[in-house]
Amino acid sequence: MIRIAACAALFLAFVHGVEYSVETTTDGQIRIGGFYSGGGPMVDATVAVTRPNGDAVGGGTTDANGFVRLRLEPGDYAFRIDDGAGHRIDERFSLRPHQLDGRVRDLITEAGRAPTLLERLRTMPKWLTATIGIGVIVVLFALLRRLRRKPA
């Protein structure tokens, strides 16, 4: 029974994820948002923004739409969004002077970096992530069963 519960927890953790956005706003602020993979906002989540060396520069709590707004100077930043229930996002972004021109910009897409493996997994169709999750559970179960088999 414990194995089934562990496998179910692994499956649910794999299928349920979080997403984020980092944007400039028309009033020159930065808007950082966290969302559950189902589309719901991460409400009342703690956001901490730091420089790459770890110096804290700002933060706050997300609003009802899952966003926190900050005024930041151009530079490189890291941020963490934590909902306190086990969902956490750790990411980085760069803010350049020309991006504070009063236009709404997606700082992650605009950076032009290739998506990480985790970002690609987050954008996969739910049926595919569920199929992969079930496959992983089946393989782990088969390995455990084989390891528990007594030698003849």
Domain residue limits at 122:
2-148
Please state the domain count of the chain: 1
pTM: predicted TM-score of the whole model, two decimal places? 0.64
Domain at 114, CATH number:
2.60.40.10
Q: How far apart are the C-alpha atoms of 79 and 56, rounded to whole Å?
A: 10
Q: What is the pLDDT of residues 19-72, one digit of tens each?
A: 888 999 999 899 999 998 877 899 999 999 999 999 999 999 999 999 999 999
Q: What is the pLDDT of residues 64-114, one digit of tens each?
A: 999 999 999 999 999 999 999 888 899 999 898 888 888 888 887 766 555
Indicate the angle between helix axes 2-15 and 126-148, nearest 10 degrees: 150
What is the model's pLDDT at position 66?
Answer: 93
CB 92 within 8 A of CB 81: no
Q: Is 3 helix (H, G, I), strand (E, B) or coil?
A: helix
The arithmetic mean of pLDDT across residues 122-131, rounded, is 76
Instruction: For the beta carbon of residue 97, count every other beta carbon within 10 angstroms.
Output: 9
What is the model's pLDDT at position 130?
Answer: 83
Q: How far apart are the C-alpha atoms of 72 and 74, rounded to whole Å?
A: 7
Angle CA 34–40–44, to nearest 5: 55
